[in-house]
Amino acid sequence: MHETFVMDSPIYKLKIHIEQNCVAKVEFNSDEPVSLPATDLGKKLQQQLNDYFRSPANSFAVPVLPQGTDFQARVWLALTDIPPGKVLTYGELAEKLGSSARAVGNACRRNPIPLIVPCHRIVAKSGIGGFAGDTDGRLIDIKLRLLEHEGFGLKLG
C-alpha cells in the first residue's frame, strides 16, 4: 500500500509518503496542491501534525519506516528522545552515541521523516547548524520556525 498526500501547515506545505502502512517520508513542498489522506494512517498522521502545530507538546504516535543504516537508525531513535523546546548539539548527541559530530550531522541530513523524527532539534555548537543538508535558505528558515514554534529562541551571531 502506498499513499501520498500534501497538507498545509503553518510552517510549509508537507508532502507525506506512506508505505507498508508506515510513514516513510515527509517533505517540505510548496508546489503541489493540497490533497486529503485516504487511509486511516494518513488521517491519523494529519490529525497529529495539526495537533503538533497547535501545541508542540503534542507528540507523534504513528508507525514509521525510516530506511537507512543501523547507525542512522540509532541517531534517528535518539532524536525522538529530545523533547520540544530543547536542543542538543551535534557533538552532545555524538557523545551519547559514542560517535562523531560529523557522523551525527550526516545521519540527520539523511533523515527521511523530519518533524516526526525531530532532526531540527540538533544544532551546531555556535549556531543553527544545517537542516536536511542545507546551511542557508528555505530549509534553514523552516528549521528556525520549527524551533521558534517549540519555544526555543536561538540567537545567532
- Report, as residue numbers or ranges, the catalytic residues: 119
pLDDT at 100: 97
Q: What is this structure's pTM?
A: 0.91
pLDDT bin (cut points 50, 70, 90) of residue 81 is: very high
Domain ranges of the chain: 2-54, 70-149
Give 134's DSSP letter.
Answer: B
pLDDT bin (cut points 50, 70, 90) of residue 157 is: very low
Yes or no: is domain 70-149 CATH 1.10.10.10? yes
Average pLDDT over residues 31-38: 94
Question: pLDDT tens-digit profile of 99-152?
Answer: 999 999 999 999 999 999 999 999 999 888 999 888 888 899 999 999 999 988
What is the C-alpha to C-alpha distance for residues 119 and 13, in angstroms, rounded to an integer? 18
Burial of 69 (0-12, 13-18, 19+ CB in 10 A): exposed
What is the C-alpha to C-alpha distance for residues 19 and 26, in angstroms, rounded to an integer? 12
What is the C-alpha to C-alpha distance for residues 105 and 49, in angstroms, rounded to an integer? 25
